[in-house]
A and B are shown apart, each in its own frame.
Chain A
Amino acid sequence: MTTVRTKPLPGRNAFVYRPTASPQAAAQWTPRQVAMTNLRTVIGRAYPRVTGMFREKSWVFFEILLPFLATSAFVFVYRALQAPPQYVGFVVLGGAMTAFWLNVIWMMAQQLWWEKSQGNLELYFAAPMNIMAVLFGMAFGGFVMSTTRAAAVLIISSTLYGVSFSIDQWALLIGVFFLTLAALYGLGMMLASLFLMWGREAWHLTQLLVEPVYFVSGLNFPIARLGVLGSVAISILPLAVGLDAMRQLAFAGAAYPIGTPPPAIEAAILVGMVVVFLVLSRWCLAVLERRARREGALSVRWQ
């Protein structure tokens, strides 16, 4: 992307992009222009996240090595307890999915609040694209980042601890994976709006959410072990339902704790979550914009 370079045409007025006859003409956009602007916004907003991945190498330590160590601790616990071998696979899969949850909670939910404090938020609202496109861009960039990290954790852990997967339904597994991420990032988009409305409590709310979600999502153990609490988690948390379905699909034939729905049902739950979270995030953003314009909350006071 950065290799494109064309010198300005000689004699060209650098200040003029595409001359328009009048402000009224310039303000009338076709539906295609609107759609393309939103699509370009998604790519534009994803760009810093993807680029940042290659520029700041510290993530290799923080987001691969540290999650790997946390996963390893559970592997050794399961081995010490002589748990069935698929439990090592469960925790490795959970460790890989941790990357997505951390990305959603730290780099999606808090992001609009951070953008506001940087002065970006009012520029976003003052630009002609739909603000949902910005959130999609953040999600897309985050997805690329986190997939790399999750894949690294999964490959390293599986190789070191000898995890053997047994997959019968590849298509369903891939479908569930992407549905989980769609629902997860949909949740992140909704939380981004909510956190912005709640203002400076966002950081504390994030802190408050991290560990409980780890627990009720069953990142380090099968969610069925939580009984009723696990069922509740499956009905509201994309990570819980998605991870449970992926475990069932990735270790087909292995003994699996009973008490959770079959993967196809869980895939349907994920579809519902995607729709609900996207609709809610769109609604929250609309409410937020109206409220922020009424109260003057799109920028911090010193801006």
Chain B
Amino acid sequence: MPATQPAQPLAIDVRGIRRVYKVKPKPVVALDGVDLAVEPGEFFGLLGPNGAGKTTLIKILTTLLLPSEGTARIFGFDVERETKQIRRIMNMVAGGEQSGYGILTVREQLWMFSQFYGLPSRDGWNRVDELIDAVGLDEQKAQRVSTLSTGQRQKMNFARGLLNDPWIFFLDEPTLGLDVSAARSVRELVLAWKAAVPGRTVLLTTHYMAEADELCDRIAIVDHGRILALGTPDELKRRVQRESVFRIELDRLDGGVAALRQVPGVVTAAQAAADQGDGKADRQTILVNLALVDDAALGGVVGALGGLGAQILALRKSEPSLEDVFVELVGRGFHEDVDSTPKDSTPRARREPPASDPTDDARERETEVVA
């Protein structure tokens, strides 16, 4: 939050928002004192597991839900009292959205929604045609909405969300339920739109970590209605990475990893199991996981390896994923049930470089899900 009053109001200014659903047998606290400041033009992500409170927050910000306590403003307009102004400058798209009427064609459906935003009829048709071209639905524009695939439907929803040229765009799990290719298309569309209109603000909620990592300028990690951490993806990752972790593939290593442990700046060095699955049985390589105090220490390591007569075949820097950040903050995995949270949920202690880096596996798993 800036120390002085900004010249332009914040795109999103949330203070002490609390939202309680009165359900039986006991009330559910969906948001528990959330504070959030999003600058105009920012691509901001809310990352959290199902039930974290992301959608509740987005519904409050889109004027569809009242907070139980606290205030929220969109570009200075109060979400409780100035709903008309907010609705004129925002739009929203949710994952799995089935809005509209299946009997209409894509073109007609988008035109219908354009009328709700007051576009003159002819302008509406023109704008619809432009957006259909932009989102790549030209072949489907005369097709009935009821016959679209899930991915095509979400592209159409995305076009609907842009009809009024919103200053703030709320995307609630926009790639939910999409296959890899369709999800990528939607992400590319979001980025293309953001690049075309740089001053616009996006609030994205997702539980796909790679998606948040790829798209967002800043991310808030949310769980149980609270913001646990907030920062750029790199800042968040640095919270759990106290050393620079590298994986080096060598042709040989005379003297073993013990020799590397003597190099200044090396925190730990461990030999990993050699990859035998590449079908090259005659190829003998050595994999070493290194934890260095910082990236600069790598120069010393490279020099030391040269002195030992080892040739570097490959070098890769291992970075923690946002899931590591979540685990660090919460003490349980991102996709684990709350019930399986260990009683001792204190943040993990300093990371030791494991013999085979689990963050790689986590990242690969994640990539498989959302790439």
Contact A24 B75 (CB under 8 A): yes
* Partner pick for B112 among A27, A45, A56, A118, CB 8 A cutoff: A45
Which of A95-103, A119-127, A151-159, A247-255 forms contacts with chain B?
A: A119-127
Cβ of B85: which chain A residues have Cβ within 8 Å of it?
27-28
A299 to B59, CA, bound (A): 10
A217 to nearest B CB, angstroms?
30
Which of B85, B162, B193 counts the most chain A CB atoms within 10 A? B85
Cβ of A52: which chain B residues have Cβ within 8 Å of it?
101, 103
Q: Given contacts A16-B165, A26-B167, A119-B99, is CB(A126)–CB(B63) below 8 Å?
A: yes
Q: What interface size band does chain B fall in?
A: 35 or more
A1 to B104, CA, bound (A): 13
* Partner pick for A126 among B62, B98, B162, CB 8 A cutoff: B62
B94 to nearest A CB, angstroms?
7
A84 to nearest B CB, angstroms?
45
Contact A27 B64 (CB under 8 A): no
Contact B129 A6 (CB under 8 A): yes
Chain B 103-129 per-residue mask, 1 if CB under 8 angstroms from chain A, else 0: 110011001111111111111011101
Cβ of A56: which chain B residues have Cβ within 8 Å of it?
103
Interface positions of A from 1 to 16, Cβ below 8 Å from B:
1-2, 4-8, 12-16
Which of A6, A17, A48, A118 counts the most chain B CB atoms within 10 A? A17
Contact A2 B107 (CB under 8 A): yes
A295 to B67, CA, bound (A): 10
* Partner pick for B115 among A4, A17, A41, A293, CB 8 A cutoff: A41
Contact A6 B87 (CB under 8 A): no
* Partner pick for B88 among A13, A26, A36, CB 8 A cutoff: A26
A85 on interface, CB distance cutoff 8 Å: no
Cβ of A20: which chain B residues have Cβ within 8 Å of it?
165, 167
Chain B 74-101 per-residue mask, 1 if CB under 8 angstroms from chain A, else 0: 0111000000111111111010111111
Cβ of B117: which chain A residues have Cβ within 8 Å of it?
37, 127-129
Contact A123 B88 (CB under 8 A): no
| Inter-chain pairs besides A23-B75, A293-B64, 18 sampled, C-beta below 8 Å | A1-B121, A13-B197, A15-B131, A15-B134, A17-B119, A26-B167, A28-B85, A36-B120, A43-B121, A44-B112, A44-B113, A47-B104, A48-B101, A48-B103, A126-B91, A126-B92, A127-B87, A128-B84
